[in-house]
Structure 1
Amino acid sequence: MNIDLQELQQLAAVQPRLDLYGGIHKALRAFMADTLLALGRVDVEDAPALAAATRQVVDLMDLCVSHLRHENEFLHTAIEARAPGASSAIAHDHGDHERHTAQLRAAALALREASDALRPALCQALYRELAVFVADNLRHMHVEETAHNAVLWARYTDAELAQIHDALLATIPPAEMAVVARWMLPYLNPAERLGMLREAGSKMPQPAFHAMLEGVRPHLATKDWAQLARGLGLPPVPGLAGV
């Protein structure tokens, strides 16, 4: 792929639009990459390590299914309301991905319960199939971030997109939100992380907000935590986010 520097300069001069895909897709990319690496290096003779790796595969599949359903209900509905047919190709992908997640989830559970003799082969097969799933999702997310965003930005104001985003967030249970925060916030850039947490802090009950911060802090480098704490007006000392 050729990168057109002049086009990039033109895009940089445009006021950024609200991106409903950007944050969650960073979370999914991080979760997928970490899970693939964890499965690839796991010692199948170490039962606790294998249990942790297969649990991570299952957790990833559960989040992917939930994410697909959120997109179908909120983003595809918004796209189809003002650009009928524009989400059809990706909707087909979603059906394939949901079937693939079910297969990978079942394979992870089977690996956990397999005999010692079968574990190496089953683990290798799951690793390879997960790699295909990750590759397909990376391509899929690129289409959403480019083609789907173009449709949304041409037909909705940022205020309208924010309403869609808030309605989607309101349907996510706390346990799922904790998983999303764990994989999203450490992998945003500092400006994105601060902006997202400032918004969350203005909307969430303070105990829940500080619990989110404490859940994410161990996954941030010391420098990143200190920078975030300063931006939020919190003590940068670990463990004092709730003070």
Structure 2
Amino acid sequence: MQSHAIEMAQVAAAARTGTGRFNMYAGIHKALRAFMVDTLIAVGRADPTDDADVSHAAAQVEELVALCASHVAHENNFVHPALEARCPGVAQPVAQEHEQHLRHIAHLRDAAQALLALEAIEREPALQALYLALALFVADNFQHMHAEETVHNSALWAAYSDAELIGFHDALLATIPPAEMMLVMRWMLPQLNAPERLGVMQGMRAGAPAPVFEGMLTGTKGLLNPQDWAKLARGLGLQPEPGLVA
């Protein structure tokens, strides 16, 4: 109990250290956690006798692990070099975990694809095996993301200014294809708190062509509950729908 209390105090201290600082991990990790949990639930409740159910679960697993593989590449190409440049060795444990995650991703992708070729009678044990393997992957990733948001963030905040961190982040975002960005936003925007969501949309309005921003705004409205949409609309200077209280 005492060690748990100490750990929680350390987590709280790490969070306070970043108050007011640019946090490049926060949004994407909220998206990944939500996507992982939703996918785990989808696999766990998939009906092995229902072709459409199984196909949907398998497709969502493949979409998730493809995004996870891309996320690993983004961190390896942009975040880890920045850490190594001014905080040598800090990223090494997580870099090794990335290699393990890529092997796990390949296994999950193969298992999801194999489901589609099975007869209905064979699907139940295969779905259960996929569910258990995915649960371990999610558990590993939750711990992994915790290390990044505490250890890595503390190192980045100590070594770089916010302007430098935003520069790294913008360079990373510039490499993401539109389809991947849309998928990330689908899972990120509903999970952000209101100030975070407003900041993302203000940044998009400032940096994206007007039709792209309008399309994202329309899509975002369909993802949010009425109260969250009203807060976002007010923050962006839009007229919220009558009767909504932000």
TM > 0.5 fold call: yes
RMSD: 1.9
Residue aligning to 1:216: 220
Specify every segment of 5 or more residues in structure 2 that has no aligned partner in the other structure, as ranges. Answer: none
Secondary structure at the counterpart of residue 121 of structure 2:
coil
Distance 1:102 1:175, change over 3 A: same
Secondary structure at the counterpart of residue 233 of structure 1:
coil
Using the TM superposition, give the Cα deviation of residue 216 of structure 1 relative to its aligned residue in structure 2, in angstroms: 2.6
Residue aligning to 2:151: 147
> How many angstroms apart in 2 are the aligned matches of 1:10 and 1:143?
11
TM-score by length of 2: 0.91
Instruction: Among all aligned residue pairs of Structure 1 and Structure 2, give the percentage whose two residues are the same amino acid.
Output: 52
User: What residue identity is the alignment partner of 1:75?
Assistant: V
1:20 paired residue among 7, 19, 24: 24
Distance 1:230 1:127, change over 3 A: same
2:37 paired residue among 33, 44, 49: 33
1:63 paired residue among 61, 67, 77: 67
> How many angstroms apart in 1 are the aligned matches of 2:222 and 2:240?
13
> How many angstroms apart in 2 are the aligned matches of 1:142 and 1:168?
21
Aligned pair count reads: 237
Using the TM superposition, give the Cα deviation of residue 85 of structure 1 relative to its aligned residue in structure 2, in angstroms: 1.5
Distance 1:212 1:10, change over 3 A: closer
Residue aligning to 1:79: 83
TM-score by length of 1: 0.92
Specify every segment of 5 or more residues in structure 1 that has no aligned partner in the other structure, as ranges. Answer: 239-243
Output aligned runs, 1:40-189, within 5 Å. 40-189=44-193
1:233 paired residue among 208, 215, 237: 237
Using the TM superposition, give the Cα deviation of residue 67 of structure 1 relative to its aligned residue in structure 2, in angstroms: 0.2
> How many angstroms apart in 2 are the aligned matches of 1:52 and 1:18?
37
Distance 1:11 1:19, change over 3 A: closer
Using the TM superposition, give the Cα deviation of residue 235 of structure 1 relative to its aligned residue in structure 2, in angstroms: 3.4
Using the TM superposition, give the Cα deviation of residue 49 of structure 1 relative to its aligned residue in structure 2, in angstroms: 1.8
Distance 1:225 1:40, change over 3 A: same
What do residues 173-222 of structure 1 show as CA deviations (whole Å, max 9, x unaligned)?
00000000000000001111011111111101111112112223222111
Secondary structure at the counterpart of residue 118 of structure 1:
helix
Using the TM superposition, give the Cα deviation of residue 10 of structure 1 relative to its aligned residue in structure 2, in angstroms: 10
Using the TM superposition, give the Cα deviation of residue 9 of structure 1 relative to its aligned residue in structure 2, in angstroms: 8.3
Q: Is the Cα–Cα contact under 8 Å of residues 84 and 90 in structure 2 kept in the other structure?
A: yes
Distance 1:86 1:9, change over 3 A: closer
User: What residue identity is the alignment partner of 2:189?
Assistant: L
Residue aligning to 1:241: none
Secondary structure at the counterpart of residue 113 of structure 1:
coil
Moved segments of 4+, more than 3 Å: 7-15
